[in-house]
């Protein structure tokens, strides 16, 4: 974790992301997504935290030399619908919505794995050195960020936080 100390890391302006970066000893630098490539290129930031597929698709691989597979963040994709609209549907229509949502979830997870593999291959082709954290190092990340998680957990229902944590396993 010493390698992270003092790094200027691109974050969003999310208070959680900013505090996680600080907990890991990094200097958070909120940068708009459209400016990240240039910020990396010019040294405004040293690092960013995103999926390998997003980095590859956004061509950030052109300006990156190193990557770390930290597996520290789980991207959740959610389906939202107006409750009043949903409640106005017949049980059959609601069932169709739930089944379609499940199909989309299965598709999304499958395509995500495929895109990540493609990105890993691109990283290798471009000579980007990828560090894979050990289980012990991942546990250390979790330990270092626990105070942030605990603080922000106070803002959400406990059952929701537990659901999120269980989903990440």
Distances (CA, A) of 65 to 43, 46, 125, 141, 149: 13, 10, 12, 22, 30
pLDDT digits (tens, 9 = 90+) for 79-91: 889 999 999 999 9
**CA dist., res. 26 & res. 72, Å (int):** 15
pLDDT digits (tens, 9 = 90+) for 120-133: 999 999 999 999 99
pTM score, two decimals? 0.77
Instruction: Assess whether pLDDT exceeds 70 at residue 73.
Output: no
Of 53, 16, 54, which is closest to residue 153 (Cα–Cα)?
16
Overall fold of domain 2-76+120-167: D-Maltodextrin-Binding Protein; domain 2 (3.40.190)
Which of 15-29, 61-75, 126-140, 147-161 shows the lowest mean pLDDT across its residues? 61-75
């Amino acid at each position: 974790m010493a390698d992270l100390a003092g790094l200027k890391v691109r974050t969003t302006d999310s208070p959680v992301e900013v505090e996680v970066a600080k907990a890991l000893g990094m200097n958070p630098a909120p940068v708009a997504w459209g400016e990240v490539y240039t910020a990396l290129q010019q040294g405004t930031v040293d690092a960013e935290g995103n999926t390998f597929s997003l980095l590859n698709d956004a061509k950030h691989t052109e300006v990156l030399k190193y990557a770390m597979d930290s597996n520290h963040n789980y991207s959740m994709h959610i389906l939202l619908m107006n409750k009043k609209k949903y409640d106005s549907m017949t049980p059959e229509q609601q069932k169709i919505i739930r089944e379609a949502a499940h199909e989309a979830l299965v598709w999304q997870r499958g395509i995500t794995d495929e895109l990540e593999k493609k990105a890993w291959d691109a990283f290798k082709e471009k000579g980007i050195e990828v560090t894979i954290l050990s289980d012990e190092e991942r546990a250390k990340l979790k330990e270092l960020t626990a105070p942030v998680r605990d603080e922000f957990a106070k803002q959400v229902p406990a059952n929701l936080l537990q659901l999120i944590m269980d989903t990440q396993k």
